[in-house]
Amino acid sequence: MAKILARFASASEFGGWAVGAEMRLKTDSFLRKENLEILEEFTESKSAKKPGREKFSEMMSRIESMDGAGILAWHPDRLARNSIDGGRIIYAVDTTKIISLRFPTFWFEPTPQGLFMLQVAFGQSKYYSDNLSQNISRGIRQKLRRGEWLTHAPFGYVNNVKTRNIDPDPVKAKIIVRAFKEYAKDTHGVESIAQFFALHGVTTRRGTPLGKASVHRMLSNKSYLGLTKHYDEYFPGSFVPILSRDLFEAVQKRLTERGRPRKTKVRHHFPFTGLFRCGECESMITAQWCTNRFGTKY
């Protein structure tokens, strides 16, 4: 029976999903068919698109410290979809640190032809990842140009499957408008607005009132003005705004004012103050510090 040092797999192969379970079964069948024995398994949860994966680095460090190791993986793209990790694998094969690379879905032998095919497989995997990322970015830019909301609707809105955008929720939008109006009156703080939300069913998943940070984010959410945010940029949305700009700006002004540190009064404690009263007006005797022309304080 041939021995393979490392079996390298993605977390999805062990997670119980249909595709992952099928991959696991086929890999086990491949092991029995080829009469292979696994000495150690490495399961990586991070994507192979970027270098710096802990489990991959741990496996390669083990392999580079010995001679004649072998790796079993479902496909080369499970090992690497970036040039750094791919180059590390190929160099380990060149230096005979790896003498066996086995894949149920890919042929490989440590020959010039096999190395060439492995490089092609790594290159195709990287191209697929780069192209997919570019297509996703292009799709996001197109949605932003159309003014569509990108993710799950914020509170006060509901996702519209037909238009692939968001619409104001008939009930929740009114709660948002009233909360903004109450806060703009300067009679409520963030804590009381959290209680207001709780009374109207807007709470955390545990059913407790929202925290200050959550309320602050809601009161400063520009999506209620009809804007959509992508990273740190805002784009005009094609959905209906819930708030007027005047109301939103009034709330932002109050948030800024309440966020400024308040000046603390300096208190001086003088002996006997509060104990004696004036014999004529019966007012309390007070005291204060004075400074003479020589700068002496008394």
Rounded-to-integer distance, Cα 119 and Cα 116, Å: 5
Main-chain phi, psi angles of 165, to 5 degrees: -135, -165
Return the domain boundaries, the chain: 2-131, 157-259
CB 91 within 8 A of CB 122: no
What per-residue confidence (pLDDT) applies to 7? 59
Describe the crossing of helices 190-199 and 212-219 by its angle, rounded to 10 degrees. 90
Residues in the chain, pLDDT under 50: 1-3, 13-19
pLDDT in tens, 264-298: 555 556 665 555 567 666 665 667 777 877 777 76
CB 64 within 8 A of CB 93: no
- CATH no. of 2-131: 3.40.50.1390
> Position 242: which residue type?
I
What per-residue confidence (pLDDT) applies to 275? 52
pTM: 0.51
What per-residue confidence (pLDDT) applies to 230? 83
Rounded-to-integer distance, Cα 43 and Cα 77, Å: 14
The helix (run of H) or strand (run of E) holding residue 200 is none
Strand pairing category for 233-236 and 227-230: antiparallel
CB 44 within 8 A of CB 76: no
What per-residue confidence (pLDDT) applies to 17? 40
> Position 279: which residue type?
G
Rounded-to-integer distance, Cα 42 and Cα 50, Å: 17
The CA–CA distances, whole Å, from 69 to 3, 36, 54, 100, 108 equal 9, 13, 19, 7, 15
Rounded-to-integer distance, Cα 230 and Cα 244, Å: 22
Q: Which of 51, 72, 76 shows the shortest CA–CA distance to 63?
A: 72
What per-residue confidence (pLDDT) applies to 185? 85
Main-chain phi, psi angles of 156, to 5 degrees: 110, -15
The CA–CA distances, whole Å, from 98 to 187, 230, 270 equal 72, 44, 84
Rounded-to-integer distance, Cα 277 and Cα 118, Å: 97
- CATH no. of 157-259: 3.90.1750.20
Q: Which of 75, 66, 19, 15 shows the shortest CA–CA distance to 40?
A: 66
